[in-house]
Structure 1
Amino acid sequence: MGKALYIAEKPSVAQEFAKALKINGQRKDGYLESQDSIVTWCVGHLVTMSYPEKYDIKYKRWSFDTLPFLPREFKYEVIPGVQKQFDIVKGLLNRPDVETIYVCTDSGREGEYIYRLVAQMAGVKDKKQRRVWIDSQTEEEILRGIREAKDLSSYDNLANSAYLRAKEDYLMGINFSRVLTLRYGNSVSSYLKSKYQAIAVGRVMTCVLGMVVRREREIRSFVKTPFYRVISGITLEGEKFDGEWRAVEGSRYFQSPYLYKENGFKEKKHAQELIDFLSTEQPLRCSVDKIERKKENKNPPLLFNLAELQNVCSKLFKISPDETLRITQELYEKKLVTYPRTDARVLSAAVSKEIYKNISGLRNYPAIGTTAEEVLQMGSYKTIAKTRYVNDKQITDHYAIIPTGQGLNALNSLPVTSQRVYETIVRRFLCIFCPPAVYQKVSLVTMMQGEKFFSSFKVLQEEGYLKYATNSFARRGAKAQDTEKSDSEDVSCDAQLLAALHKLKKGDILTVDSLDIKEGETSPPKRYNSGSMILAMENAGQLIEDEELRAQIKGSGIGTSATRAEILKKLFSIKYLALNKKTQVITPTLLGEMIFDVVNCSIRQLLNPELTASWEKGLNYVAEGSITPQEYMDKLEHFVRIRTDQVEQSNYQYALRQFFDAAAVNYQKKQTTSKRGGKV
């Protein structure tokens, strides 16, 4: 009887498979073997695409004559540093006694690509190949994945999209970087008085650079606009609160040109005129025009996908998306959480049926006290499948990141930040089994001489899930970290004021103690931080914080959950963008702005988030089987050919000089300070 060969992506994962399969056989060089099974591993990528000079030495020299570079057949090679492990894996894949190969690389597009390249280079033939697809590295899940492994051909569409993604990044990167460098590299380097400057561009990273530069320029060109609001100070049974004037229909200022929006004036004198008019009747009083009381339920937020977790960790811990992914990957490899590179924020129906196991395991996790036990006693996990937290249609490869309830012994050996990331994931998970938070809302409209003032109050009546949402490491008195945007118009009020408001009815007369002018000013757009940038990439260039809206455009992102952090990291390393490590705020560098201007003049489409997202969506269509790989490739080659020719024929050197000058003005102080030996 032939042997089964299990091939994992990393040595640590291979070790978990060996444990689950009870392989206590010999440890050999690069693999483990027992009587009926062999477990081996890659070390990440073993095979990569060859550089153009491997096709023909003429491509080594960058020249217009050799562009566009569009090979008929793509060449691949073993990465020199891992040749030894590749040879071991190749030998095992082709061993005569190996009958079935179980592909256990990461369950996603990139994991599929890693194995397919190895199998291609190793020349695997006449073997049964089965794909193991798992959501966590617990023994139970590993054995289920092996038991239910499908024929590798079931994942051919996913493999096609993986190959195409690599070809796309390769062709765009090589052709556009070369043609832009040949045409405009000297313009950039001579302006910066630097050595030869290659211009690095890419399908995703150039789009991200564009988002940051555009935002920075919006901030620079922003002009603050002052505005003046009129506020009434009202007393009710000894309790004081404010009313905000608005120029609604019926107001003497309705649709007036003096207004800045409906709740303020452009000039202070007009605000004063309104106060003078309202003050003609003394003593100052107002009447209740309208009062509305309602209860509002706030449901627990959806579970974490990688983008949402990276955003929250950037806010809570000031760590980069790359670091969040590294930590979550480690938690996954220690069996503590499920697969991290996921876009879904819900559970699958199948997992929801067994979810009590995850909750039960968390009873042994001290940081959450008795929360897991309380959640089990509530019993809501039995009907979780009927809620918005379970939806098979919103899952492509993997469901949301949740704790497995296992591996807790490994937690204490991890760094503090990793422990805190884990607790954040656990609390978000447990909250979905808890009742909503209940608020009592009161909306009040008061009237003075035909002018209306608006007040809004919100009181938390039942904590619901908020009771469990606050992390154990949060500062004392800190509110629950549900990271949801609160309604800024609502004012918290105490029980006494709420009781007094409940007695009010239309027509009641209240005392007005004061009428004041409050000056404000418009705010510029905010710079991206590392977390908000990941969310904006997920949402095709829009920073969408509303959960439902985000769900509607899911699948239209820039890059994927697996690649976004790496793209940001590259932009920092090539010094196109700068990251403030304390605040995680992202800003462009002068070089980054200059590259933006070069691309904006020559291949503007690369800066368009919607277009970049549409390429990603196309890869999803290939993975689904909706379009063929050839259709996608034809479109890609046409795009590369047209844009490369376009740049070759362009001549924007003189026009670019004025753009470079405009950007450089903003960096002169930094450069001067640097020359004096100060901090940049």
Structure 2
Amino acid sequence: MEKLFIAEKPSLGRAIAENLPGPKKNGEGYIQAGNDVVTWCFGHILEMPYPEAYNPEWKSWDLKHLPIIPPRWKLEPKRDSKDQLKTIKTLLAQASTVVNAGDPDREGQMLVDEVLEYLGNDRPTKRLLLSATDPATVKRELGRMQPNDRFRGLYQAGLGRARADWLVGMNLSRAITKTLSREHMISIGRVQTPTLALVARRCDLIENFEPRDFFDIEATVHESSRDPADDSTPRLTLAFSPQKDEDRLWDQAEAKSIAKALKNREGALSKMTERKKERPPRLFTLPELQKFASKNLKLSASKTLAVAQELYEKKLTTYPRTECPYLPKEQEADVPDILDAIGQAADESLVNARARLQNPEARPSVFNTAKVEEHHAIIPTRNPLPEGLSDQAVALYKAIAMRYLLMLAPDRVYDETLYTAVWDERTYKAKGQVTVSPGWTTIAGKAANDKALPDLPDGARVTVADAKPRKRTTRPPDYYTEGTLIEDMGSVAKYVQNDKLKAVLKENSGIGTAATQAQTIETLKSRGYITLDRGKLKVSELGRSIAHNLHPLLVNPDLTAKWEMDLKRIADGDMELSEFEGNIHRFLDYILKWAKDRQGEVEIAGEPAKTKGRGPKKGGGKRRKAA
């Protein structure tokens, strides 16, 4: 055997085998392709065992055993994956070269590398990175495989993530359950607990919100030289509408007084017209796709990921677990073929949208190799949309394909006009816009958001014909949807107080990754900490109590976001895994001491939300699930 390809899952393995030279022959858990063989994992086929695998005494949830830190990390075959692991072991012994064909991200790198390490692989190993599984992409990437050693940092980052999650889950779930909770097993997670806190804080804001009335002033003006009784005299409505609380008018009597004093006042009108461009929406990342699908298709974050994965495995779209909205420059050459595929889709609206795109142009700002890291934006492949897909799959494909079309369309061009006038140090404004060229909005079928204003000259003297206050009321933020929660998980910098960390976070991921955020939400729902109520995420009594009573380091996003940054540094070769693990150990010591000191002072209580499956059990004690 020349090469042994180890794919992340069977569907990816079949896509690789189809594009290798030579006759094909199916085996038990593999495909022979000429002189090469393709086999596969089923996602992670090895798992980190529970604490009792290291020490039988650690099965007991006893504070005296904490912190539980394995002297040497172990992996065990999953029960339903043992036969496949034996197949890989047998094939590995016959191979001259091995190819890691895991998905192109941290987890994909790790789940194949951990198998190779577990089996003691000493063969030369290459890395195949597939962002799509259509034949052209697979054949292209087969021709430029890289040494797997170049991705050692990515593997180490995957190990760091897994070990941090294990250490936090196994130790702190036990510690918090035994010290601060009487009735429930409390699950603590490196990502899930700060995410729970985001939902709890949002619910607190909404439920404790007290609306307040405030007042804008609307002033209708005309040119002083024109007769106000003449119906042909243009009128313009300006508004004093400050956005900051300290500048708003909260007192109705004061607002009425200001409006009354404005009538018949003269002033100078300033006019500024500027030609602007509106770019089309960016190509989809997974978080953006989940936000779109939550709002427009009523799909949960996990369902969106599942459907996107289905489209990827059917070779209709590219790899979905991405946080990058850019494409490598070399993919400019694929544009005609992808457009042709969209034009052949089994969907009339897509075919018509493709027909409206007359002169597609690849934007340098999108086709920017320097901004593409592990994988690129989610886009269609060269394969047209077939018939027979589920409605959800068709809807998601259409959204992805439409974004691709819009990215190749010209900007919308419009003229924006701003009128301003000042009375008593208050600035009154009117803003309007008129489309000059609709650009991408024509492809999207989007109506122009035009607001034409009267044409008055710059510097004109105007008179206030009428003025009146307009009552408005402050509103609380909206409840999270799964899409907006994932958006906040990614833009967590705005909740961070440390300026240095905030600045760095703006350039990096927030809580979790695109591949794990949906699962985090599902975990919180399954444990009864949050619930989905008509599309709105709400916290349960128990979830709120957890968020309110834990140490700030566990619930604030700062720490877990810092850890995500450290994992990226490990992947980039700028930090050792041992240093990261040492930081986790010190953190555990600190929180364990805090929990023991608070025993009897703080109590986590309340009822979990009802779940469709089994929620958290009552009664702390010997629980296997801790992460």
TM-score, structure 1 normalization: 0.82
Structure 2 counterpart of 1:204, from 191, 205, 216: 191
> Closer, same or farther in 2 for the Cα pair 1:144/1:551, shift >3 Å?
farther
Deviation at 1:649, TM superposition (A): 3.2
Deviation at 1:351, TM superposition (A): 2.2
The answer for the alignment partner of 1:222 in structure 2 is 209
What is the identity, as a one-letter code, of the residue corresponding to 1:355?
V
The answer for the alignment partner of 2:468 in structure 1 is 516
8 Å Cα contact 1:539-1:554 kept in structure 2? no
> Closer, same or farther in 2 for the Cα pair 1:289/1:241, shift >3 Å?
closer
Q: Secondary structure at the match of 1:408?
A: coil
Cα root mean square deviation, aligned: 2.8
8 Å Cα contact 1:335-1:407 kept in structure 2? no
Structure 2 counterpart of 1:140, from 122, 136, 144: 136
1:561-588 deviations in Å (ceiling 9; x for gaps) = 11011111100010101112x4x21111
Q: Does the alignment pair 1:389 with 2:366?
A: yes
Residues in 1 aligned to 2:540 and 2:493: alpha-carbon distance in whole angstroms? 20
What is the identity, as a one-letter code, of the residue corresponding to 1:121?
Y
> Closer, same or farther in 2 for the Cα pair 1:60/1:505, shift >3 Å?
closer
> Closer, same or farther in 2 for the Cα pair 1:564/1:247, shift >3 Å?
closer
The answer for the alignment partner of 1:112 in structure 2 is 109
Deviation at 1:551, TM superposition (A): 11
Residues in 1 aligned to 2:557 and 2:516: alpha-carbon distance in whole angstroms? 16
Unaligned runs of 5+ in 1: 190-196, 249-258, 471-477, 481-490, 668-680
Residues in 2 aligned to 1:265 and 1:45: alpha-carbon distance in whole angstroms? 59
Deviation at 1:24, TM superposition (A): 4.2
> Closer, same or farther in 2 for the Cα pair 1:23/1:535, shift >3 Å?
farther
8 Å Cα contact 2:495-2:557 kept in structure 1? no
Residues 263-342 of structure 1 mapped to structure 2, 5 A cutoff: 264-279=248-263, 284=264, 286-342=266-322
Deviation at 1:156, TM superposition (A): 1.0
The answer for the alignment partner of 1:643 in structure 2 is 591
8 Å Cα contact 1:211-1:541 kept in structure 2? no
What is the identity, as a one-letter code, of the residue corresponding to 2:380?
P
Residues in 1 aligned to 2:322 and 2:272: alpha-carbon distance in whole angstroms? 43
8 Å Cα contact 1:286-1:447 kept in structure 2? no
Deviation at 1:353, TM superposition (A): 4.5
8 Å Cα contact 2:341-2:384 kept in structure 1? no
Deviation at 1:614, TM superposition (A): 0.7
1:183-212 deviations in Å (ceiling 9; x for gaps) = 1221xx1xxxxxxx2110010000101111
Deviation at 1:163, TM superposition (A): 0.9
Structure 2 counterpart of 1:493, from 447, 451, 464: 451
Q: Secondary structure at the match of 2:256?
A: helix
Deviation at 1:247, TM superposition (A): 8.9
Residues in 2 aligned to 1:265 and 1:69: alpha-carbon distance in whole angstroms? 58
The answer for the alignment partner of 1:426 in structure 2 is 401
Residues in 1 aligned to 2:150 and 2:402: alpha-carbon distance in whole angstroms? 36
Q: Secondary structure at the match of 2:304?
A: helix
The answer for the alignment partner of 1:378 in structure 2 is 359
8 Å Cα contact 1:556-1:614 kept in structure 2? no
The answer for the alignment partner of 1:444 in structure 2 is 419
Deviation at 1:457, TM superposition (A): 1.3
Q: Does the alignment pair 1:571 with 2:524?
A: yes
Residues 496-575 of structure 1 mapped to structure 2, 5 A cutoff: 498=453, 500-501=454-455, 503-509=456-462, 512=465, 514-540=466-492, 542=494, 553-575=506-528
Deviation at 1:19, TM superposition (A): 1.4
> Closer, same or farther in 2 for the Cα pair 1:41/1:452, shift >3 Å?
closer
Q: Secondary structure at the match of 2:569?
A: helix
The answer for the alignment partner of 2:24 in structure 1 is 25
The structure with the greater share of residues assigned to helix is 1
Deviation at 1:378, TM superposition (A): 1.9
Deviation at 1:13, TM superposition (A): 1.6
Unaligned runs of 5+ in 2: 223-230, 497-501, 610-627
- Name which of structure 1's ranges 203-212 and 128-137 shifts more when overlaid on structure 2: 128-137
Residues in 2 aligned to 1:112 and 1:452: alpha-carbon distance in whole angstroms? 57
Residues in 1 aligned to 2:289 and 2:495: alpha-carbon distance in whole angstroms? 15
Residues in 2 aligned to 1:552 and 1:176: alpha-carbon distance in whole angstroms? 26
> Closer, same or farther in 2 for the Cα pair 1:647/1:23, shift >3 Å?
farther
Deviation at 1:237, TM superposition (A): 3.2
Residues in 2 aligned to 1:529 and 1:551: alpha-carbon distance in whole angstroms? 27
> Closer, same or farther in 2 for the Cα pair 1:631/1:447, shift >3 Å?
closer
What is the identity, as a one-letter code, of the residue corresponding to 2:251?
E
The answer for the alignment partner of 2:225 in structure 1 is none
TM-score, structure 2 normalization: 0.88
Deviation at 1:449, TM superposition (A): 8.4
Deviation at 1:529, TM superposition (A): 1.3
8 Å Cα contact 1:303-1:429 kept in structure 2? yes
> Closer, same or farther in 2 for the Cα pair 1:508/1:164, shift >3 Å?
same
Deviation at 1:650, TM superposition (A): 2.7
> Closer, same or farther in 2 for the Cα pair 1:335/1:286, shift >3 Å?
farther
Deviation at 1:177, TM superposition (A): 0.5
> Closer, same or farther in 2 for the Cα pair 1:511/1:337, shift >3 Å?
same
Q: Secondary structure at the match of 1:378?
A: coil
8 Å Cα contact 2:180-2:603 kept in structure 1? no
> Closer, same or farther in 2 for the Cα pair 1:353/1:25, shift >3 Å?
closer
1:33-65 deviations in Å (ceiling 9; x for gaps) = 244122211112111011111111111111112
8 Å Cα contact 2:153-2:572 kept in structure 1? yes
Q: Secondary structure at the match of 1:456?
A: strand
Deviation at 1:122, TM superposition (A): 2.6
8 Å Cα contact 1:305-1:340 kept in structure 2? yes
What is the identity, as a one-letter code, of the residue corresponding to 1:380?
E
Structure 2 counterpart of 1:364, from 323, 344, 347: 344
Deviation at 1:354, TM superposition (A): 4.0
- Name which of structure 1's ranges 564-573 and 222-231 shifts more when overlaid on structure 2: 222-231
Residues in 2 aligned to 1:550 and 1:460: alpha-carbon distance in whole angstroms? 37
> Closer, same or farther in 2 for the Cα pair 1:538/1:509, shift >3 Å?
closer
- Name which of structure 1's ranges 208-217 and 400-409 shifts more when overlaid on structure 2: 400-409
What is the identity, as a one-letter code, of the residue corresponding to 1:418?
A
Deviation at 1:150, TM superposition (A): 1.6
> Closer, same or farther in 2 for the Cα pair 1:371/1:224, shift >3 Å?
closer
Deviation at 1:151, TM superposition (A): 1.9
1:497-543 deviations in Å (ceiling 9; x for gaps) = x4x41x5342344572x322211111112222111111111112549
Deviation at 1:428, TM superposition (A): 1.3
Residues in 2 aligned to 1:528 and 1:169: alpha-carbon distance in whole angstroms? 25
Deviation at 1:232, TM superposition (A): 2.1
The answer for the alignment partner of 1:166 in structure 2 is 162
Q: Secondary structure at the match of 1:536?
A: helix
8 Å Cα contact 1:130-1:152 kept in structure 2? yes
Deviation at 1:407, TM superposition (A): 4.4
Q: Secondary structure at the match of 1:380?
A: coil
What is the identity, as a one-letter code, of the residue corresponding to 1:295?
R
Q: Secondary structure at the match of 1:308?
A: helix
Q: Secondary structure at the match of 2:116?
A: helix
8 Å Cα contact 1:291-1:444 kept in structure 2? yes
> Closer, same or farther in 2 for the Cα pair 1:429/1:74, shift >3 Å?
same
- Name which of structure 1's ranges 41-50 and 112-121 shifts more when overlaid on structure 2: 112-121
What is the identity, as a one-letter code, of the residue corresponding to 2:232?
E
Deviation at 1:121, TM superposition (A): 2.8
Q: Does the alignment pair 1:415 with 2:402?
A: no
What is the identity, as a one-letter code, of the residue corresponding to 1:37?
D
> Closer, same or farther in 2 for the Cα pair 1:268/1:66, shift >3 Å?
same
What is the identity, as a one-letter code, of the residue corresponding to 1:272?
K
What is the identity, as a one-letter code, of the residue corresponding to 1:68?
P
Q: Number of residue pairs matched?
A: 594
What is the identity, as a one-letter code, of the residue corresponding to 1:571?
L
- Name which of structure 1's ranges 289-298 and 552-561 shifts more when overlaid on structure 2: 552-561
Deviation at 1:643, TM superposition (A): 1.9
Q: Does the alignment pair 1:245 with 2:244?
A: no
1:239-261 deviations in Å (ceiling 9; x for gaps) = 6542213699xxxxxxxxxx964
